[in-house]
């Protein structure tokens, strides 16, 4: 165990409450480059996502391939989740510096392939490359947070990253639209190039490699990852399917493939998941459930919120995008606000208050769809953003700190991967639910209202167990004997 790991493990409540850290500490010479690098890692993912989603219709108009436009996101998410799942093992085997650099270069290769593509197939291959690179970058950046920063600054790191997300939510679509109109959709992909170059330079400069630890030779979990990929692709296909029988078969295949992957991982000598992952008897397991369920609940908004605003309230695209970005702004503002909490009890309270706000926000969102009252939707967006803002940083820190020292990398790298999985699966299931409720056959706004409300009811239902497991995790934290590792 390193000195810093002992610092995390042996942190007493008195120390935690007496020194909450300052925002300016992130800009101190010791942490400035690390803060900038982690924020660039987030920017790479956030801006790229908003840029690509904005330019993809123009890309398809030039290259063709309308039937596979949704696969741009599907393949990216699948590659990202698979790569993120293996990130901890790669970090242990090759060191963080080498893995981060290689992943960034893979992302760069995918970006250049997509930017210079002459067919939609090449664009999709480029998106796979971006997913593979970004999945590892996001996961390793999470793992580096507890390695580089003391616990008192971790909430502020998450606050800074949330601010980057908010900037991307507003600036990404605007920048992509401007570049597409004045230059070309290809220019939006090339925006990533200088970000990658600066990120790699920082990673080579400050990221430790292996820190002198013994490197164990481990077998690559190829079969487990292949089964996981099968599960992800089939459930995403189910969400895109317009025929319920085929969708049902795809879901069964997905469940069987996922069960097989988890079964093999539990029996493996070197596991991909941390011990006790998704256990209902530990704060670690319950916290991971909270991450997954909150992401599942939010996924419906990422798929159908802008669509609802444009078709039910007749918002123009810019106004609809601004309303969607309101959630990201509230996430950032609340994350910055609660990052100054010093009391351990208040920090733990944020972990369950956030999901409770999510329940209320999604309930208001359903009510707004059924009633047609836009004011309810505005309040819902504020509540949902605050839900993630107050809880996400402290939930992530709790999971990093409660994981055994030798499995902290596995836990930390799993967090962004699990979030991506929740968004992917939640979006697919929301699509399946909306289509089953008659979305595809709807002719007008009133015909759309019911199917869209049904999809958001599913999101509301996902939020209920998220609140329950978060509350239970905090209860176990207050009773250490109940927090079995």
pLDDT per residue as tens digits for the range 289-348: 999 999 999 989 888 888 888 889 988 877 887 788 889 889 989 998 898 888 889 999
- What is the rounded distance in angstroms from the CA atom of residue 107 to the CA atom of residue 126? 8
- What is the rounded distance in angstroms from the CA atom of residue 52 to the CA atom of residue 391? 29
> Is it the case that residue 19 has pLDDT exceeding 60?
no
- What is the rounded distance in angstroms from the CA atom of residue 163 to the CA atom of residue 153? 15
Residue that terminates a domain, selected from 211, 238, 254: 211
Is 306 found in the same domain as 239?
Answer: no
User: Going by C-beta distance under 8 Å and a sequence separation of 6 or more, which residues neighbour residue 272?
Assistant: 85, 86, 88, 89, 221, 224, 225, 265, 410
- What is the rounded distance in angstroms from the CA atom of residue 112 to the CA atom of residue 124? 12
Tell me, yes or no, whether 11 lies in a domain.
Answer: no
Tell me, yes or no, whether 90 lies in a domain.
Answer: yes
Check residues 299 and 10 and name the one with the higher pLDDT: 299
Residue that terminates a domain, selected from 191, 211, 231: 211
Tell me, yes or no, whether 123 lies in a domain.
Answer: yes
Q: Which of 82, 167, 76 is nearest to 123 (CA)?
A: 76
Range of the domain at 462: 274-485
Residue that terminates a domain, selected from 171, 186, 211: 211
Q: Which of 95, 144, 12 is nearest to 408 (CA)?
A: 144
- What is the rounded distance in angstroms from the CA atom of residue 309 to the CA atom of residue 321? 9
Q: Which of 59, 188, 176 is nearest to 123 (CA)?
A: 59
Axis-axis angle for helices 96-115, 192-206 (nearest 10): 170
Q: What's the number of CA atoms in the CB half-sphere (13 Å) around residue 113?
A: 18
CB atoms within 10 A of CB 321: 22
**Average pLDDT over the chain, rounded to whole?**
85
Is 293 found in the same domain as 258?
Answer: no
Give the lowest-confidence range in 97-111, 211-225, 315-329: 211-225
Is 336 found in the same domain as 391?
Answer: yes
- 449-475 residue pLDDT tens: 999 999 999 999 999 999 999 999 999
Total tally of structural domains belonging to the chain: 3
- What is the rounded distance in angstroms from the CA atom of residue 229 to the CA atom of residue 221? 12
User: pTM for the whole thing?
Assistant: 0.84
Per-residue pLDDT at 485:
43
What six digits make up the tokens of 389?
A: 């803002």
Per-residue pLDDT at 234:
84
Question: How many residues belong to the chain?
Answer: 485
- 116-169 residue pLDDT tens: 999 989 999 999 999 999 999 999 998 899 888 998 888 889 888 888 888 887
Is 315 found in the same domain as 232?
Answer: no
Is 311 found in the same domain as 254?
Answer: no
Is 352 found in the same domain as 469?
Answer: yes
Per-residue pLDDT at 215:
53
């Amino acid at each position: 165990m390193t000195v810093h790991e002992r610092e995390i493990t042996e942190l007493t409540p008195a120390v935690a409450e007496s020194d909450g850290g300052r925002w300016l500490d992130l800009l101190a010479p010791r942490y400035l480059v690390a803060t900038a690098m982690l924020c660039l890692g987030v920017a790479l993912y956030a801006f790229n996502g908003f840029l690509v989603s904005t330019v993809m219709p123009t890309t398809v108009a030039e290259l063709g391939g309308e039937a596979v436009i949704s696969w741009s996101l599907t393949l990216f998410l699948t590659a990202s989740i698979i790569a993120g799942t293996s990130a901890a093992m790669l970090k242990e085997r090759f060191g963080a510096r080498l893995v981060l650099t290689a992943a960034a270069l893979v992302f760069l290769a995918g970006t250049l392939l997509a930017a210079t593509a002459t067919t939609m197939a090449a664009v999709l291959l480029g998106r796979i490359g971006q997913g593979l690179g970004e999945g590892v970058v996001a996961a390793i950046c999470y793992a580096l947070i507890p390695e580089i920063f003391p616990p008192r600054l971790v909430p502020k790191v998450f606050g800074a990253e949330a601010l980057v997300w908010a900037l991307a939510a507003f600036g990404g679509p605007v920048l992509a639209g401007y570049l597409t109109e004045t230059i070309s959709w290809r220019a939006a992909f090339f925006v990533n190039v200088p970000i990658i170059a600066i990120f790699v330079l920082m990673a080579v400069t400050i990221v430790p490699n292996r820190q002198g630890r013994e490197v164990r030779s481990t077998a690559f979990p190829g079969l487990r990852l292949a089964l996981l990929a099968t599960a992800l692709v089939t459930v995403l296909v189910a969400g895109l399917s317009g025929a319920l029988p085929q969708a049902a078969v795809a879901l069964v295949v997905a469940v069987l493939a996922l069960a097989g992957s988890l079964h093999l991982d539990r029996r493996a000598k070197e596991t991909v998941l941390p011990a006790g992952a998704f256990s209902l008897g530990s704060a670690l397991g319950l916290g991971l459930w909270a991450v997954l369920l909150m992401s599942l609940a939010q996924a419906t908004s990422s798929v159908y919120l802008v669509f609802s605003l444009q078709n039910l309230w007749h918002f123009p695209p810019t106004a609809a995008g601004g309303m969607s970005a309101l959630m990201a702004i509230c996430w950032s503002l609340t994350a910055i606000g609660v990052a100054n909490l010093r009391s351990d009890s208040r920090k733990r309270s944020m972990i369950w208050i956030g999901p409770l706000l999510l329940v209320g926000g999604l309930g208001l969102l359903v009510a707004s769809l059924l009633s047609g009252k836009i004011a309810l939707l505005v309040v819902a967006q504020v509540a949902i953003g605050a839900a993630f803002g107050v809880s996400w940083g402290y939930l992530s820190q709790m999971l990093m700190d409660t994981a055994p020292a030798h499995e902290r990398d596995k836990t930390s790298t799993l967090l962004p991967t699990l979030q991506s999985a929740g968004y992917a699966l939640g979006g697919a299931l929301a699509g399946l639910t909306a289509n089953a409720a008659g979305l595809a056959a709807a002719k007008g706004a009133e015909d759309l209202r019911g199917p869209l409300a049904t999809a958001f009811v599913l999101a509301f239902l996902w939020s209920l167990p998220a609140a329950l497991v978060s509350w239970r995790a905090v209860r176990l934290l207050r009773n250490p004997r109940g927090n079995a590792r």
